[in-house]
């Protein structure tokens, strides 16, 4: 009996130590490979890191969100939130966004501002994709816009850029990693279901991140910046949603 118990103790201690060391090693390796989310702190951070790393490894940079046909477009598309109360936003809206500019800066070769007309002059793409709200409801819509990767190519991405951080006219700032920023279905969208982007859905330009929950696809864009360290922004959690208790990674 005692032999059995001591063998068990040795086995258990050994396994725990091995698991601990493997965990530590894996965490460091994951950090080097950009597999650790900004909100990796505490007990929940362990789950988040596992989920983010697993999905990043499984999906790679190129897996494509399913695309649907026009017949699949939802007839009911609820609106979450309201247009920003921001004075600047309403001044630009009154003038049909003629003076609106998207500022692109940070770790780029040439910081630049883009007008709506400029964005519309670039190669336009359309996707009919599913968007789910973190609450549980969802819809399918057609989005038209320019690929974010196209715009980023124009300004030149620095090799050590790790995140794209987006600032809208409201408080819902967000960030995505470069894998999603350069993904072919990540759009700066100015059209929805064949029409100009409605105000309720983010006019003049919203972000569209096809492989994550809706709250990453922020509306009313104003500026985007590339960075190598998300800690410089807000509380360092990568967005307003993580600061309110919602996970940064929304590939769920």
Partner 1 sequence: MVRSRGPLVDAATGKPNVMPRHGLVVRITHWLTAIGTFALIVSGIAILLAHPRLYWGETGAVGTDSFIDLPIPFVFGHSGWGRYLHFLAAWVCVASGALYIVGGFATHHFGRHLFPSRHDLAWPNLRRTIADHVRFSVSRQSHDSYNVVQRVSYVIVVFVAGPLVLLSGLAFSPMLASVTPALVGMFGGQQSARTIHFFAAAAVVLFVLVHLTMVSLTGFVARVRAMITGEARDAGAWPRPALSLSQACPRPGLGLTPGGEES
Per rule CB under 8 A, is residue 63 in the interface with partner 1? Answer: yes
Binding mask 194-213 for partner 1 (x = CB under 8 A): ----------------xxxx
What is the residue-wise DSSP string for the chain? -HHHHHHHHHHHHHHHHHHHHHHHHHHHHHHHTT---TT--HHHHHHHHHHHHHHHHHHTTT-------GGGS-S-----S-----HHHHHHHHTTTTT-EEEEEESBSS-EEEEHHHHHHSPPEEEEEEEE-TTS-EEEEEEEEEEHHHHHHHH-B-TT--EEEEEESSS--EEEEHHHHT-TT-EEEEEETTEEPPGGGTSS-EEE-TTS-GGGS-SSEEEEEEES-GGGSTTSSSSHHHHTT--S----
Per rule CB under 8 A, is residue 77 in the interface with partner 1? Answer: yes
Per rule CB under 8 A, is residue 150 in the interface with partner 1? Answer: no
Question: Which residues from 232-251 bind partner 1, rule CB under 8 A?
Answer: 244-247, 251
Among 25, 81, 98, 137, binds partner 1 (CB under 8 A): 137
Q: Which residue number, 23 or 31, has a Cβ lying nearer to partner 1?
A: 23
Q: Which residue number, 29 or 50, has a Cβ lying nearer to partner 1?
A: 50
Stretches 70-78, 88-96, 170-178, 226-234: which one binds partner 1 (CB under 8 A)? Answer: 70-78
Per rule CB under 8 A, is residue 68 in the interface with partner 1? Answer: yes
Per rule CB under 8 A, is residue 55 in the interface with partner 1? Answer: yes
CB of 138 to partner 1, least distance (A): 5
Per rule CB under 8 A, is residue 21 in the interface with partner 1? Answer: no
Question: Contact positions toward partner 1, by CB under 8 A?
Answer: 8, 43-44, 46-48, 50-51, 55, 58-59, 63-66, 68, 72, 74-78, 130, 132-140, 210-213, 244-247, 251-252
């Amino acid at each position: 009996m005692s032999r059995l118990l001591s063998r068990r103790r040795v086995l258990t201690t050994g396994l725990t130590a091995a698991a601990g060391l493997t965990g530590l090693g894996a965490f460091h390796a994951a950090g080097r490979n950009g597999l650790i989310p900004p909100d990796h702190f505490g007990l929940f951070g362990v789950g988040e890191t596992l989920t983010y790393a697993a999905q990043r490894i499984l999906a790679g940079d190129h897996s494509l969100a399913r695309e649907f046909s026009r017949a699949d477009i939802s007839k009911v598309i609820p609106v979450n939130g309201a247009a920003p109360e921001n004075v600047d936003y309403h001044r630009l809206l009154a003038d049909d966004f003629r003076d609106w500019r998207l500022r692109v800066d940070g770790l780029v070769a040439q910081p630049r501002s883009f007008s709506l007309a400029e964005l519309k002059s670039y190669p336009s793409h359309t996707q009919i994709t599913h968007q789910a709200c973190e609450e549980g409801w969802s819809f399918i819509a057609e989005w038209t816009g320019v690929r974010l990767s196209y715009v980023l190519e124009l300004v030149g991405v620095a090799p050590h850029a790790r995140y794209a951080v987006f600032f809208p006219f409201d408080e819902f700032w967000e960030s995505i990693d470069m894998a999603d920023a350069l993904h072919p279905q990540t759009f700066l969208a100015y059209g929805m279901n064949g029409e100009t982007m409605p105000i309720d859905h983010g006019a003049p330009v919203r972000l569209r991140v096809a492989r994550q929950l809706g709250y990453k696809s922020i509306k009313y864009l104003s500026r985007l910046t590339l960075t190598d360290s998300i800690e410089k922004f807000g509380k360092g959690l990568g967005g307003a949603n993580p600061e309110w208790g919602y996970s940064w990674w929304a590939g769920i």
